[in-house]
A = this chain, B = another copy of it.
């Protein structure tokens, strides 16, 4: 089999841990597999570099910033290759540009356009472990680009797709995807298998195990994606295409997110074009809107409520307040003390009553629902921040997620 393994910054955080990764890699190779390993920068290293940049410049962005931070992964690939060699194995390391990971030129958030697998294949055929720097690539002019934080997952999946690998294993400091965060709900259980779609919802709802773009790419190229722990030998979670036996499970997990804020514009004239004016203003400020709710019109007026990243609240209010005044709204209200709680599962779309059970569970706990948003495989609600933990626990129990 051809296996891609990706190790994050914590897994390669010290020389000792790099030796551990080398051992694991060589053990896998000894089972007769071909191995490509994608690594992140050693934990702390990217922050060190970013800190240096901020000591130099108040606004260190663009080409030079990417040139700088990409060195973090280059250090790790060289050290891991040396570790594999010191344990008697054969290895060869490559920075992104050396295996022609072509990206667009959107510095710090570049997207991979293509990977030329020929360099990698040549090394694999000679029995070498190929070690590749995650998170980075090269634009058409030869400038070094980075994919943004967490981009190493995306590199792993992109390499797996380019090489048509049999599996892409993402090693991290947790041993799989859980029904919810065990720190909040001790009954949380590792999910052995989850669909790309459900994983995407879980990731976008705050489960930090996988980067959304890497899941999107895995889904697009049908790369079987494993989430495993680099510190133990657990089975992990397989993220794969939807299969029959998945449908039995209505709800796969409960996700939550405390990083959103709510903005409400009161008493807006309810006429065509109002919403587009508001949201164009927000888009121009480069702010991503998540949930949007518009009340039913009463006497020609309506309330418009939406959520945005908490970190963008000031910027959003500045943009919106002017606009709201112009449109004759009564006032703009903001609330940072909210949380989003979601139930996710591919099975949901064919199971009636899932949303109803969610709402009644929360009602029994006297938890007030401020906003609701649904997709085919997800129901999300906004609740007060202090209601988040009880809500997660109640929903985890109500949908019997602790059971296998």
Contacts and interface: CB of A to CB of B under 8 A. Distances in A.
Contacts of A79: 52-53, 56, 64, 68
Contact of A71 (B52, B64, B75): B75
Contacts of A57: 82-83, 85-86
A304 to B, nearest CB: 40
A60 interface: yes
Contacts of A85: 57, 64
A78 interface: yes
Contact of A53 (B53, B77, B82, B95): B82
A89 to B, nearest CB: 12
Candidate in A18, A65, A83 with the most chain B CB atoms within 10 angstroms: A83
A258 interface: no
B75 A49 contact: yes
A18 B83 CA distance: 34
A15 interface: yes
A234 interface: no
A93 to B, nearest CB: 5
B58 A82 contact: no
A195 B68 CA distance: 39
Interface in A49-93: 49, 52-53, 55-60, 63-65, 67-68, 70-71, 74-75, 77-79, 81-83, 85-86, 91-93
A390 interface: no
A64 B52 contact: no
A82 to B, nearest CB: 4
A230 interface: no
A142 interface: yes
A47 interface: no
A15 B68 CA distance: 14
So how many copies of this chain end up in the complex? 2
Contacts of A68: 74-75, 78-79, 82
A229 interface: no
A108 interface: no
A19 interface: yes
Contact of A56 (B19, B58, B65, B71): B19
A98 interface: yes
A15 B55 contact: yes
Contacts of A95: 67, 144
A60 B82 contact: yes
A78 B56 CA distance: 10
B86 A18 contact: no
Looking at A64, A77, A86, the one whose CB has the most chain B CB atoms below 10 A away is A64
Contact of A64 (B18, B55, B67, B93): B93
Interface string A120-158: 000000000000000000000011100000000000000
Contact of A58 (B59, B65, B86, B98): B86
A320 B79 CA distance: 36
Interface in A93-112: 93, 95, 97-98
A97 B67 CA distance: 13
A263 B127 CA distance: 46
Contacts of A93: 63-64, 67
A77 B58 CA distance: 17
Contacts of A18: 56
5 contacts: A57-B85, A58-B86, A59-B86, A64-B93, A68-B79
Given A15-B52, A63-B92, A67-B93, 11 more contacts: A15-B55, A15-B56, A18-B56, A53-B82, A56-B79, A57-B85, A60-B86, A63-B93, A64-B91, A67-B95, A71-B78
7 nearest A-B pairs in the assembled complex, by CB-CB distance: A68-B78, A15-B55, A71-B71, A57-B86, A67-B78, A64-B81, A57-B82
